[in-house]
Structure 1
Amino acid sequence: MTSYDLLIVGAGALGTFHALQAAQAGLRVLLLEKDRYPIGATVRNFGQVVPSGLAGRWFDYGRRSLDIYRTIQQETDITVRANGTIYIASDPDEWTLANELHDRYQRLGYGSELLTKAQCLDKYPSLQPNYVVGGLFFPDELSVEPEQMIHRLIAYSQRKYGIDYRPGSVVIDCQPNSSGAVVTLSNREHFQAKRVLICGGHEVRLLFPDVLANAGLVVSKLQMLLAEPVAGLRLPGNILTGLSIRRYEAFQECPSYANLTAQYPEHLIELKKWGIHILFKQAVDGSIIVGDSHEYAEATQAEDLGYHTQDFINDLMLAEARRIVTFPLTIRKTWAGFYSQTKAEIFEHAIDPAIQLITGIGGKGMSSSAGYAEQNIKQWFG
């Protein structure tokens, strides 16, 4: 039976960054993925690395993640683009929050710039002038191509650090033993490891379902759209809007946030009901990702959300998007993404000293997994 220092179940961003950090520390690592390639939340998102929207320790992990992404990109192309992030405020209340967050990040030494309406329209001429009050720009933040990044990161980890990656490996059992833990696949193959980390995303029924059923996990279903390229259009970086200011954790820590929630504008109430906040990210081929919405169900009842997209939610998003930008939005495809989250920021649970469950990272994975994984590997292995 082959033995490893660390065996990781799940090759999304969370699992793969743990594998990379462990391998960089000289450990022998096995990374298992139940599908032929990752198809979960890691590839069904905007590909925006935006620590600016995070709060608490997740901002710190996100800030460190920026450095990790840049370091890897210097060695191999994992699709990282350094075009920054902007939040477009659409009314005075949102602009107040943007100013307060700017002041906070100035004190923390995290680079940000307040842009006037004229500066926003100069930098992003495709914005509707009557939407824009001002902008908060983060020049150091990054974009990646979500359908490509994880594959390139895994390949880099294999090539440089010798990670043993085995897709199409369905783990059906994990049991502690005197040497750590033994993992069993559906084909009855066994692996021994000193430590096992399970990063199964919103899958809660294969391994330790009794623990996960009582973890307070909720699955969020997101609807997203891909618009056709527009000749001559350039949308640099990550473009977030007033609804993002009203939603993201970092703004919720600002002094004026309570006033914002008490005075929700009438035209945004239906959007709030479906968890909609409008973001734009242009892919390298010129197509534009637009979204997203949020519907919720208990993790053990995720099927209730369905795997279809609802046209009326897409229509709500498109109507608001057209209120924000001037270019035509011709939709090429739509899709639903799913991720698990918990009120406790993340679910971290030791089944045994050798077996750790980590899931429920919510929408923070792309922005903060790299820094979070680095901290965990240092803590576990020294």
Structure 2
Amino acid sequence: MTSDVVVVGAGIVGLAHAYAAVRRGLSVVVVERDERARGASVRNFGHGCLTAQSGRALEYALAARESWLALAKEADVRVRESGTVVVARAADEMAVLEEFAALRGDQARLLDEPAVRARVPVGDGVVGGAFLPLDLRVDPRRAVHAIAAALAGRGVRFLWSTAAHGIGPGEVVTSRGVVRGRRVVVAVGHDVDRHFPELAEWRRVRRCSLHMLRVADPHGRTVDPAVLTGFSLLRYGGFAECPSAGAVRERLSREHAELLDCGLNLMFTQLPDGDLTIGDTHAYARTPSPYRAERLDELVLAQAARLLGVPRLRVRERWRGVYASAPEPFLVETPADGVRVVSVTSGIGMTTALGLAPAVLDDLLD
């Protein structure tokens, strides 16, 4: 089996490279160890969190936005231009949003308290917020499967339930035989160390484990935008550029030390059936513990209930997401001629992969 490009991994990063290659008129084979994508690409909020990024991440995110909108027309992928509401529940959080809006212009619109409540259901203590109109929403449980189906319809050959045993110049040795290609892209997320352990050690790749939950909507209300909070201001580069961000971190460290220790990014999105995806916590290790601490779920549930202004939430599902983490947000390396190892090492694969992939292919095919 021979193609122009062999992609190892059918998560969003691998599919982004397959999509970029097909748009160049290249033949593609995708090798995936499972019978369908089941990792970080489906265990997320379905949130294209474009506006809060900075630097290269913002550049890739804005490019990815155009590809997501193109996919909405080319494939059975529902992409919603619903934006994001950032809820401020303290004066220092509102100060960050005011500074951010001054930096970004039309990319961020300030909201007063009534305007926040008109867009999203929230409890007491809201002082204002901001609306980020460029951000996107997709159904995380369906989007990557729809993209894979669309690519298969355009001639991409998928080898599902096929393990990659060896990767080298011009070929991938799999459990179904040798697949040859002029170029090879390895997009296996946090499993970089399974194929290239020295590279993973050098780039200090770890696994980030997230506690996430699906809960019944307590309000029975349609919530179009994604919803972020003051905890989110500490996790995205765009907000970190604002001078007031330090005051938010200092206050939250003083008032909610346990929540910062578990890396809480309090946010939620709504699934198509009305349920809410809430989360999430962050823990880092090369080999995460297999045990889920109930205390982390309790913290997420308590804070999400407070945000929504209800006494408790009814849990439908719980899961742990895992993604690659490293000091730099993107890993792009060349372990052999014609081979690129690519991983989004910052938890923003759905946001940036479709913008990152064309840049990688430009270099790989040069």
Bin for the TM-score computed over the shorter chain: over 0.9
Instruction: Determine what percentage of the aligned residue pairs are the same residue.
Output: 27
Relative to structure 2, which stretch is displaced further, 142-151 or 341-350? Answer: 341-350
Alignment of 1:185-264 (within 5 A): 185-187=174-176, 189-230=177-218, 232-264=220-252
User: 2:100 touches 2:108 (CA, 8 Å); kept in 1?
Assistant: no
Task: Kindly state the Cα deviation for residue 381 of structure 1 after the two structures are TM-superposed.
Answer: 2.6
Change (3 A) 1:20 1:329: same
Task: Kindly state the Cα deviation for residue 157 of structure 1 after the two structures are TM-superposed.
Answer: 1.3
User: 1:217 touches 1:360 (CA, 8 Å); kept in 2?
Assistant: no
User: What's 1:369 paired with?
Assistant: 353
Distance 2:123 2:217 in 1: 19
User: What's 1:173 paired with?
Assistant: 166
Distance 1:272 1:230 in 2: 26
User: What's 1:272 paired with?
Assistant: 260
Q: How many residue pairs end up in the alignment?
A: 365
Asked if 1:357 is matched to 2:341, the reply is yes
Alignment of 1:1-382 (within 5 A): 2-106=1-105, 110-124=106-120, 126-130=121-125, 132-159=126-153, 161-176=154-169, 181-187=170-176, 189-230=177-218, 232-264=220-252, 266-298=254-286, 302=287, 304-306=288-290, 308-327=291-310, 329-381=313-365
Task: Kindly state the Cα deviation for residue 318 of structure 1 after the two structures are TM-superposed.
Answer: 1.2
Task: Kindly state the Cα deviation for residue 230 of structure 1 after the two structures are TM-superposed.
Answer: 4.2
Moved segments of 4+, more than 4 Å: none
Distance 1:248 1:379 in 2: 28
Relative to structure 2, which stretch is displaced further, 193-202 or 343-352? Answer: 343-352
CA deviations over 1:283-332 (Å, ceiling 9, x no partner)? 0001110100001102xxx1x422x4321111111111122112552101
Distance 2:304 2:197 in 1: 40
Change (3 A) 1:145 1:13: same
CA RMSD of aligned residues (A): 1.6
Distance 1:43 1:49 in 2: 13
Normalised TM-score (structure 2): 0.95
CA deviations over 1:12-49 (Å, ceiling 9, x no partner)? 11110011000110111111111111111101110100
User: 2:168 touches 2:336 (CA, 8 Å); kept in 1?
Assistant: no
Task: Kindly state the Cα deviation for residue 68 of structure 1 after the two structures are TM-superposed.
Answer: 1.1
Task: Name the SS for the 2:194 alignment partner.
Answer: coil
Distance 1:192 1:71 in 2: 30
User: 2:7 touches 2:29 (CA, 8 Å); kept in 1?
Assistant: yes
Change (3 A) 1:143 1:203: same
Read off the aligned partner of 2:160 and give its amino acid letter: P
User: 2:124 touches 2:309 (CA, 8 Å); kept in 1?
Assistant: no
Task: Kindly state the Cα deviation for residue 204 of structure 1 after the two structures are TM-superposed.
Answer: 3.6
User: 2:338 touches 2:364 (CA, 8 Å); kept in 1?
Assistant: no
Normalised TM-score (structure 1): 0.91
Read off the aligned partner of 1:149 and give its amino acid letter: A
Task: Name the SS for the 1:120 alignment partner.
Answer: helix
Change (3 A) 1:223 1:3: same
Read off the aligned partner of 2:238 and give its amino acid letter: A
Structure 1 gaps, min length 5: none
Distance 1:229 1:90 in 2: 21
Task: Kindly state the Cα deviation for residue 208 of structure 1 after the two structures are TM-superposed.
Answer: 2.3
Task: Kindly state the Cα deviation for residue 340 of structure 1 after the two structures are TM-superposed.
Answer: 0.8
Task: Name the SS for the 1:343 alignment partner.
Answer: strand
Distance 1:230 1:45 in 2: 21
CA deviations over 1:90-139 (Å, ceiling 9, x no partner)? 11111111111111111xxx532100012111222x21132x11111012
CA deviations over 1:240-266 (Å, ceiling 9, x no partner)? 111111222211111222333334353
Structure 2 gaps, min length 5: none
Distance 2:295 2:328 in 1: 32
Read off the aligned partner of 1:374 and give its amino acid letter: P
Read off the aligned partner of 2:197 and give its amino acid letter: P
CA deviations over 1:66-101 (Å, ceiling 9, x no partner)? 111111112333121221111111111111111111
Task: Kindly state the Cα deviation for residue 162 of structure 1 after the two structures are TM-superposed.
Answer: 1.2
Distance 1:230 1:320 in 2: 14
Relative to structure 2, which stretch is displaced further, 29-38 or 264-273? Answer: 264-273
